[in-house]
Amino acid sequence: MSTRLDAQFAFLLEADKLRRIERQNLIIDCSRCENSAEHSWHLALYALVLAPFAGPEVDIFRAIRMLLLHDLVEIDAGDHPITDEVDWEAVAKSEQAAAERLFGLLPDDQGSGFLALWQEFEAAESPDARFAKRVDHCQPIFQTLYGAQPLDWHIDVVRQNLHGGRAAALEQDLPEAFHHALALLEEDTGFDCSPLTARLPFLNEADKLKLITRASKLGDGSRHENSAEHSWHVMLYAWVLAEHSAEIVDVDRVLQMLLLHDLVEIDAGDTPIHGAITAEALAAKAAEEQAAAIRLFGMLPQAQGKPMLATWEEFEAAESPDAAFAKSIDRVQPVLLNLLNGGGSWVDYNVSLPQLDARVGGKVSRGAPDVWTYVRAKIEPWFREAGRL
């Protein structure tokens, strides 16, 4: 068991490096470039919301899993904007080598499955992979065209991409996205894009999660993580560690919970687990988050928004096996980041090991007891050396 968890955590901690990969496109408020981890989270959300545009042969959650993995190779191979003049054959070889190294960190059975899924996405031949690719093509387009102050040359890139670039395939595979993008470029074709435009305000609003700063820092300690990239990382944690759940869980439902769970922070902000919070303040925060959930999921057509709200509420209640496991994984991920970066929020909030046991250990043990046993053994030496036992 320990050897298997060693391999799983080696992969998950290495995956943290994807947050350092900066992409060319800007987040929607145009304040900075997007990184590949938060991009992967946003793509997963796009795939969930755009599920009605996928054919009946598409397994949306397989597509979501592809999108969680698809950019991990950039840790080794880097990002390559479509505007760059590069040797794409050499890039493909570099990415294949990166995929083999990264997924090779996992136990053999998991690593081979992840590698096969990544290769399926790259080949773009299966229905699931083609849908995931189209989502990957349209998200940067709308992030640019709905941007607060997009760069002129970014708009030119979008136009060129639609007229002869890889996004031209949207005309056939996701016509609402293709024609709405043209309309935003003042090339309106008269195509009815209302099924898409009913959903884009939610997806655009969700981009604000990339601006919510958490107490936890990245593994290298260079900055605090944001809630969008955290959501991506914790989804990866849940997927990899699902076999250690205290009860049998539906992994796809767990992934959906974690995809959505922090969206309320757009209105309510993050609440550090080690902050001094009174019972009254926690109750007020819960009410604020409930109002945020109602507002945000209410931006979607009711047939989608209502089930998503119910999923979020199930996660918050943490009563079902799926929600209990999702909560446990949400708690354990920052612990590993703190260990990587020299203490992080434990130092900031002067946390002792008994406090961590009370605030985090109980919740993790409820959903994934073997995971907490493993993690606690890893962190105890840090607290012992710091004199915080």
Q: Is 121 exposed, middle or buried (0-12, 13-18, 19+ CB in 10 A)?
A: buried
Cα separation, 89 vs 77, whole angstroms: 13
Cα separation, 140 vs 34, whole angstroms: 10
The pairing of beta strand 33-35 with beta strand 22-26: antiparallel
What end-to-end distance do the CA atoms of the chain give, in Å?
A: 26
Both tokens of 137, joined, read 């093509």
Angle at 114 between CA 241 and CA 61, to 5 degrees: 75
Angle at 341 between CA 233 and CA 211, to 5 degrees: 50
Compute how many other C-beta atoms are within 10 angstroms of the C-beta atom of residue 316. 17
Which pLDDT belongs to residue 1?
63
Cα separation, 25 vs 30, whole angstroms: 9
Compute how many other C-beta atoms are within 10 angstroms of the C-beta atom of residue 93. 12
Q: Is 14 exposed, middle or buried (0-12, 13-18, 19+ CB in 10 A)?
A: middle
Domains of the chain with CATH codes: 2-206 (1.10.3210.10), 250-385 (1.10.3210.10)
pLDDT tens, N- to C-terminus, the chain (389 residues): 689 999 999 999 999 999 999 999 999 999 999 999 999 999 999 999 999 999 999 999 999 999 999 999 999 999 988 887 888 899 999 999 999 999 999 999 999 999 999 999 999 999 999 999 999 999 999 999 999 999 999 999 999 999 999 999 999 999 999 999 999 999 999 999 999 999 999 999 999 999 999 989 999 999 999 999 999 999 999 999 999 999 999 999 999 999 999 999 999 988 877 876 778 888 889 999 999 999 999 999 999 999 999 999 999 999 999 999 999 999 999 999 999 999 988 998 889 999 999 999 999 999 999 999 999 999 999 999 998 88
Which pLDDT tens digit goes with each residue over 233-285?
999 999 999 999 999 999 999 999 999 999 999 999 888 778 767 788 888 89
Both tokens of 382, joined, read 């840090």
Beta carbons within 8 Å of 36's beta carbon, 6+ residues apart = 18, 19, 21, 22, 23, 71, 74, 79
Cα separation, 149 vs 182, whole angstroms: 18
Beta carbons within 8 Å of 370's beta carbon, 6+ residues apart = 1, 5, 244
Q: Report DSSP letters for 108-125, one per residue.
A: HHHHHHHHHHHHHHHHT-
Which pLDDT tens digit goes with each residue over 288-324?
999 999 999 999 999 999 999 999 999 999 999 999 9
Which pLDDT belongs to residue 111?
98
Cα separation, 228 vs 171, whole angstroms: 29
Q: Is 2 exposed, middle or buried (0-12, 13-18, 19+ CB in 10 A)?
A: exposed
Both tokens of 336, joined, read 């590993």
Q: Is 43 exposed, middle or buried (0-12, 13-18, 19+ CB in 10 A)?
A: buried
Q: CA distances (Å), 123 to each of 51, 109, 246, in order?
A: 21, 21, 36
Which pLDDT belongs to residue 276?
63
Do the beta carbons of residue 35 and residue 20 sit within 8 Å? yes
pTM: 0.96
Which pLDDT belongs to residue 274?
80
Cα separation, 41 vs 60, whole angstroms: 14
